[in-house]
Structure 1
Amino acid sequence: MRNKKVFFILPVVFFVLLIVALRSLNSKSNVLQFYLMDSGKKDVFEYLTQKFCAETKSRYKIKILTAGDSRLYLRARIEKNDIPDVIAMDGNSIYTELAEGGYLMNLEKEKFIKSINEHYINMLYQINGSKGREILGIPYAVNASGLMYNKAIFEKYGLIPPKTWSELMNVCTVLKEAGIPAFAMSFGENWTALPVWNNIVPVIVPDSFIEQKNSGNTSFLQTHREVLEKYAALLNYTKGTEAISSVYLDAVNDFANGKIAMMINGIWTVPLVKRANPDARIDTIVFPSSDVESENTVNSGIDIVLTISKTSEKKRIAKKIVQFLLRPENSQIYIDRHYSFSTVNGVTQNDPSFAGLIEIMKEGRISDFPDHYYPAGFDLASILTDFARNKEKRIPDEKNITATLARCDSEYEQCLKLR
């Protein structure tokens, strides 16, 4: 009798285990992994993907994934041959690595490509590396960087927003005489050293620099001296020693509260300025790197590229999600929440803090962030931070510039060898 009970119970147990296993398998097969490189944007993508599921009544669950170190995380997933179905990534060397590695699905035949501004498709080609003109991702949102200025300070001193380098230097002179630091800069966090460089380089340095540098036919020493000469000139109009030790939020707060007149940074700074001082009146204009006004461009690059894994088993639903995100009303939700510009035709950014950039962007006077094209591991931010610190230590500009550019060449070439 006891043996009969055992024989009766065992099939029941196996049946239950089988049901659990099948449910688990089915659960995993119904989950689409959406990896987001910038965890700060998780809120809006969770909202939009939930909106997608509600409107389409999709049987799929979309799981938003983030990680502390995106590059290490993605490399680990690649090694396991387990790449997330959809990746929303930065338009920089990480995208280039995945594109060149053959990990991304070619989307050039998809109809939703037609909704994207052609300028940003061309910008995507430039970061495709060896993949040339393949469309391995969809530019979704772009950032912009320029010269933000405090309208109240400019009005008080009768200043006109500068359109040329000479006009900018004249503004700095007036502000210095009034005892007001011209620029809110902070070198307590290395990355904040980059916006000045990224704004000046596209105007001063030949477009062919990256190609020529990678083939060993030019150098930073040969081509970037004027960039650092102008960077050094700007450093004469900061808070000096205090700028060297201060962090990004210190600079933002000073700028927002009228203690400093201008800030060279990206539009991602605007929500922080508004949080620090809701009454702050600011505008963002093209940084005037040149004395020829028409040569100055809006520094704008791809902030988010939507990509689909080449090995994903859920390509069909992944493409539907991308198409959904590209709908004008959804793109508008994204740029309104995260203060950026859309790549989708007809979707506009209407925040008055960007008024000075919008018309220039419509004219097509746009240049990408040069550091998007540098090899992985090239720590330009640290190099430029040391440049600013050396300036504060009163190391002569000529010596500081030469040493900094030589270091750029050396470290850049080391990174190329590790590719």
Structure 2
Amino acid sequence: MKKTIALVMSSALVLSMLSACGSKNEQTASESGKKVKIEFFHYKPEAKKTFDKLIEKFEKENPNIDVVNVNPPEAETVLKTRAAKRDVPDVVGIGADTTFAELSKAGVFEDLTNASELDNIQPAYIKMLRDVTGLDKVYAIPYAANADGVIYNKAIFKELGLTVPKTWDEFIAVAEKVKAAGKTPFYFTFKDAWTTLPVYNALAANTQGETFFQDLNKGNTSFKEGYKEATEKFVKLLEYGHKDNFGKGYADGNVAFAKGESAMYLQGIWAIPEIKKANPNIELGVFPYPVTNNPEQTKLVSGVDLLLAISKTSKHPKEAKKFVDFLLDEENAKTYITEQNAFSAIKGLTQDDPTLDGLKESFAKGALVDFPDHYIPASINLANLLQQLTHDKDVDKFLKTMDSEWKKVQGRK
């Protein structure tokens, strides 16, 4: 299927080159006073209102440009289908994952390697784009970063005399103390399979080694070798959930945690706005997952959660670039990270929410590592496999399945 998409999209680029001369007038239409419509397609339903606000501001400043805010369910699947039909939106906002890698390799996006906008982006996030695509060229501008962190209820920690753990052993000891006090250490929401990913990403990223996926692609390692520790630790954490780990979903967990039904929540920082909606007065903190017993080796999982790419076949590339530059403006980027509780990929633009103070040292030191699942094709469906693991707790079966599925993907390339 990937080869088919790539071939179709390559054909689309040939067609677009042949028709380029006929589209020059359209590209500068807004400058000549004509009304131009561009499409901003993204995969962030929780950010739709924020983008609505920013788009309204952009359109007031640029009355000849209409921006359509498009955010369909299963956005990445929709995007790949549209790309195969040579119907790529003008501006695309997705994560730096395998979908972005596939589309970049197929030539769907403008080459931004030499774009001046990259000069103001933190190099670590530009490197992540190159790492996930395996390409030297850069086909998007990193915009915002998220982070996996253990969210904790400060009131419960104070009540039980707990301190933030720095090592794996301390982490388990804290969970044991919470459990011994008759409270729930972690609130799991495994009804939604994807909620297995935040904690597993943190465990894997801190134990797999720096070259795991390069070695895996060369056939020099396996999930059985590189992911055993992470998987065993994942199963260990399951001992500290509540009575209905499989009957509750993400929305349930946000509300339950907001009500004080657990001391910790193994999620990402994107959950914090939803928790505060349910309880504006809750006092929260966040700390990096302490995966090993060496705090100096702890890295915060923080990848490019949102990038901005411009379609190679856009009829209005100047207007598309103008919108991207608008979003990159410091004031507008600040609006996004404030409302979405995210970190900016832009140099010098900080996240000021005190709730996230526990993560700032990791950013300051550059102790960051990308989300491992960004390198695992969607066809493997890691979330569903992890969801099954929460039921049967069979580490060997899970690892064997991962290796088997990976070989299938490699065989289709």
User: TM-score normalized by structure 2?
Assistant: 0.89
| Aligned twin of 2:298 | 296
Deviation at 1:54?
1.6
Are the structure 2 counterparts of residues 259 and 68 from structure 1 closer, same or farther at C-alpha, using a change threshold of 3 Å?
Answer: closer
Aligned AA (1:171): V
Give the CA deviation at 1:133. Answer: 2.3
Q: What is the CA distance between 1:75 and its match in structure 2?
A: 2.8
- Map 1:65-84 to 2 at 5 A: 65-84=70-89
- Find the counterpart in structure 2 of residue 171 from structure 1: 174
User: Conserved in 1, the CA contact under 8 Å of 2:98 and 2:133?
Assistant: no
CA contact 2:108–2:311 (8 Å) conserved in 1: yes
**Bigger mean CA offset, 246-255 vs 140-149:** 246-255
Partner SS for 1:347? coil
User: Greater shift after overlay, 360-369 or 79-88?
Assistant: 79-88
Whole-angstrom CA distance in 2 between matches of 1:32 and 1:272: 31
- Give the CA deviation at 1:164: 0.6
Matched, 1:61 2:66: yes
Residues 153-189 of structure 1, C-alpha deviation per residue, up to 9 Å, x if partnerless? 1101111110111111111221121111211112111
Report if aligned partners of 1:128, 1:134 keep a CA contact under 8 Å in 2.
no
For each residue in 1:360-387, what CA deviation from the matched residue of structure 2 results, as whole angstroms up to 9, or x when unmatched?
2111011111000112311111111111
Alignment of 1:167-316 (within 5 A): 167-240=170-243, 242-316=244-318
Tell me which residue corresponds to 1:396. none
Equivalent residue number for residue 44 of structure 1: 50
Q: Distance in 1 between matches of 2:218 and 2:81?
A: 30
Is the aligned partner of 1:96 residue 2:101? yes
1:128 and 1:228 map into 2 onto residues whose CA distance is 26
Q: Does 1:408 find its partner at 2:408?
A: no
User: Is residue 52–residue 69 contact of structure 2 (8 Å, CA) maintained in 1?
Assistant: yes
Change (3 A) 1:65 1:235: same
Determine if contact 2:117/2:141 at 8 Å carries over to the other structure. no
Identity of aligned residues (%): 35
Aligned to 2:389: 387
Aligned residue type for 2:354? P
CA contact (8 A) 1:150 1:261 kept: yes
Q: CA contact under 8 A between 1:184 and 1:252: conserved in structure 2?
A: no
Moved more, 286-295 or 406-415: 406-415
Question: Which has the larger displacement, 350-359 or 63-72?
Answer: 63-72
d(CA) in 2 for partners of 1:231, 1:66? 33
Verify: 1:149 aligned to 2:152, yes or no: yes
Q: Offset at 1:135?
A: 1.6
Deviation per residue, 1:371-411 (Å, 9 max, x gap): 001123111111111111114xxxxxxxx111111011112
CA deviation digits over 1:94-132, x for unaligned, max 9?
Answer: 111110101110112222211111111111111223xx2
* Contact in 2 for aligned 1:146/1:287 (Cα 8 Å): yes
Matched-pair contact (CA < 8 Å) for 1:99–1:128: yes
> How far apart are the structure 1 equivalents of 2:42 and 2:336?
14
What whole-Å deviation, never above 9, does each CA across 1:244-290 have from its counterpart, x for those lacking one? 22212222222222221111110111011112212211101011001
1:80: Cα distance to partner? 2.7
Residue 412 (structure 1) shift: 2.2
Contact kept, 8 Å, 2:43 with 2:71, in 1: the verdict is yes
Tell me what 2:138 maps to.
Answer: 135
Query: Which consecutive segments of 4 or more residues in structure 1 shift more than 4 A?
Result: 26-29
Q: Deviations over 1:130-165 (max 9, x none)?
A: xx2212100001111111111111101111110111
Letter in 1 for 2:212: F
Deviation, 1:39, is: 3.0
TM-score normalised over the length of structure 1 = 0.87
Extract unaligned runs of 5+ from structure 2.
1-28
The answer to whether the 8 Å contact 1:185/1:263 transfers is yes
Structure-2 residue corresponding to 1:12:
none
Give the conservation status (yes or no) of the 8 Å contact 1:164–1:289.
yes
Residue matched to 1:11: none
Corresponding position of 1:22? none
Q: Does the 8 Å contact 2:95/2:305 carry over to 1? A: yes
Alignment of 1:332-351 (within 5 A): 332-351=334-353
Contact 1:342 1:348 (C-alpha < 8 Å) held by counterparts: yes
User: How far apart in 2 are the matches of 1:84 and 1:353?
Assistant: 36
What is the alpha-carbon root mean square deviation over aligned residues? Answer: 1.7
Where 1:245 maps in the other structure, the secondary structure is: coil
Indicate conservation of the 8 Å contact 2:96/2:128, yes or no.
no
Match of 2:117 among 100, 112, 115: 112
Q: Deviation at 1:29? A: 7.3
**What's the secondary structure of 1:31's corresponding residue?**
strand
Choose the corresponding residue for 1:85, options 81, 84, 90: 90
What SS does the aligned partner of 2:286 have?
A: strand
Q: How far is 1:239 from its partner?
A: 1.1
Q: Please give the alpha-carbon distance, in whole angstroms, between the structure 2 residues aligned to 1:123 and 1:86.
A: 20
Give, in whole Å, the separation in 1 of the partners of 2:176 and 2:269. 26
State how far apart, in whole Å, the 1-side matches of 2:262 and 2:43 are.
33
> Separation in 2 of the partners of 1:40 and 1:416?
34
Aligned 8 A contact 1:141 1:335 in 2: yes
Residues 249 and 46 of structure 1, relative CA distance in 2, 3 Å threshold: closer
**Larger of the two Rg values belongs to structure:** 1
Residues 6-52 of structure 1: per-residue CA shift (max 9 Å, x gap): xxxxxxxxxxxxxxxxxxxx899721122122233222222222212
Shift of 1:73: 2.0
Q: Measure, in 2, the Cα distance between the counterparts of 1:365 and 1:244.
A: 33
CA distance in 2 between partners of 1:81 and 1:264 (Å): 40
Deviation at 1:58, TM superposition (A): 4.3
State the 1:345 CA deviation.
1.4
Q: Cα 1:196–1:122, aligned 2, differ >3 Å: closer, same or farther?
A: same
